[in-house]
């Protein structure tokens, strides 16, 4: 993993997620300066924002994403084949949303996900966090980094960002025996977050029409930073019916179980709260204190919800015709999840 020291300036960013074609650097620099000066002279609010020492400055432009034509975007890290992780420090002229993109996604993989696309052909998973504030810091991971508003008028952001490349060669994948993966989606007031690094999903209750309780366990990591904030907020505000309401109260959650390229099960939950959080250390069977073996730190999130809905994907007709082994090798099958309502059951 190679650390990258970053000092990015607005003169090398084209304000598009697309990678740069190159007019001269001097021309880009001059165009950016002229554009910013014009904006400042026309917009008193932009011109009044005092620069911050040690920070770079960007002025937003129209978001090039389809469906975002009336929104503003300031691109900090343009789209790249490389994935990065790090910390963004920012101060904007108005409250902004934080954006990272991951991808590109495989054809068909965009179905049912929050995505961003500039051409309707290449899609990226969209992580959009609304912090309801104009300044702060954000731990991110993705192939691109930006800030965004749902307005059509430009904004200014002063920022600095420290990040490094994610080197997949140093990550040891943890797979189930039959390659079933757990993907969790959390719908908070501030935005939707997807996490695919949980290795344990256990539903303790809920099948008998009682209050669902779920346990998610995964390796401690930066990708769960929003859940750490949610757990800490729950702890400070109090959990359960006697706790104070906050931005992480009663969130929605979906769990997807996928085998290779095929979705197998989907469970959706409503009005959820993190009711307990612990950290544990797991060792291999040969653990000793001579450093000859390994251990791992894991998060345990216990989540209680008001209700749930299970779904399944009806592959049986394909299995009858082709067999299980052939069906598991199929890609991009267009299947819809089934509930009891699909079979006319009240």
Instruction: Give residue 5's pLDDT.
Output: 38
Give one DSSP letter per residue of 280-297, joined into a string. Answer: EEEE-TT--TTSSS-EEE
Instruction: Give residue 28's pLDDT.
Output: 59
pLDDT at 191 over 60: yes
> What is the chain's alpha carbon radius of gyration, rounded to the nearest angstrom?
23
Determine the average pLDDT of the residues in 238-259. Answer: 80
Helix, strand, or coil (residue 316): helix
CA 104 to chain CA centroid, Å, is: 14
Contact of 292 with 224, CB cutoff 8 Å = no
Predicted TM-score of the model (pTM): 0.49
Instruction: Give residue 39's pLDDT.
Output: 38
The region, left, alpha or beta by phi > 0 then psi within -120 to 50, assigned to residue 240 is left
CA angle 313, 316, 321 (to 5 degrees): 135
Closest by CA position to 196, among listed 270, 130, 278, 254: 254
CA angle 40, 45, 49 (to 5 degrees): 80
Instruction: Give residue 72's pLDDT.
Output: 93
CATH number, span 173-343: 2.30.110.20
pLDDT digits (tens, 9 = 90+) for 131-181: 778 888 888 888 999 999 988 999 999 999 988 887 654 444 455 556 788
Closest by CA position to 22, among listed 72, 101, 78, 73: 78
pLDDT at 77 over 90: yes
Residue environment code for 280-310, b if the CB has 16+ CB neighbours within 10 A, otherwise e: eeeeeeeeeeeeeeeeeebbebbbbbeebeb
Instruction: Give residue 84's pLDDT.
Output: 87
Contact of 186 with 227, CB cutoff 8 Å = yes
- pLDDT bucket at 283, cuts 50 / 70 / 90: confident
Domain assignments of the chain as residue spans, ordered by start: 3-168, 173-343
Determine the average pLDDT of the residues in 288-316. Answer: 78
Question: What does the alpha-carbon distance between residue 159 and residue 149 come to, in Å, rounded to a whole number?
Answer: 16
Q: Tokens 């299947």 sit at which residue?
A: 335
Closest by CA position to 105, among listed 337, 332, 334: 332
């Amino acid at each position: 993993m190679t650390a990258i020291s970053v000092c990015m300036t607005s003169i090398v960013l084209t304000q598009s997620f697309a990678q740069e074609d190159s007019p001269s650097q001097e021309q880009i620099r001059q165009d950016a300066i002229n554009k910013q000066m014009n904006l400042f002279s026309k917009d008193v609010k932009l011109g009044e924002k005092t620069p911050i020492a040690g920070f770079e400055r960007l002025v937003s432009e129209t978001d090039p994403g389809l469906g975002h034509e009336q929104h503003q975007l300031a691109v900090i890290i343009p789209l790249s084949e490389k994935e990065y992780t790090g910390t963004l420090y920012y101060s904007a002229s108005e409250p902004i949303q934080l954006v990272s993109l991951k991808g590109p996604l495989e054809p068909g993989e965009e179905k049912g996900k929050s995505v961003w696309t500039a051409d309707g052909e290449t899609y990226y998973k969209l992580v959009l966090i609304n912090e309801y504030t104009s300044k702060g810091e954000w731990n991110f991971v993705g192939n691109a980094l930006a800030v965004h508003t749902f307005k059509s008028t430009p904004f200014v952001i002063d920022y600095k960002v420290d990040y490094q490349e994610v080197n997949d060669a140093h990550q040891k994948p943890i797979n189930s025996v039959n390659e079933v993966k757990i993907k969790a989606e959390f719908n908070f007031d501030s935005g939707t977050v997807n996490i695919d690094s949980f290795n344990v999903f256990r539903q303790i209750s809920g099948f008998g029409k009682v209050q669902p309780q779920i346990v998610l366990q995964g390796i401690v990591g930066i990708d769960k930073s929003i859940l750490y904030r949610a757990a800490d907020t729950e702890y400070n505000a109090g959990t359960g019916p006697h706790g104070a309401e906050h931005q992480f109260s009663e969130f929605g959650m979906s769990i997807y179980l996928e085998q290779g390229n095929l979705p197998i099960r989907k469970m959706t939950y409503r009005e959820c709260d993190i009711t307990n959080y612990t950290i544990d250390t797991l060792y291999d069977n040969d653990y000793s204190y001579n450093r000859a073996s390994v251990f791992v730190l894991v998060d345990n999130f216990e989540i209680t919800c008001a209700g749930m809905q299970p779904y399944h994907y009806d592959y049986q007709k394909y299995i009858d015709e082709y067999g299980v082994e052939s069906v598991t090798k199929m890609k991009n099958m267009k299947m819809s999840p089934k509930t009891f309502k699909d079979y006319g059951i009240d």
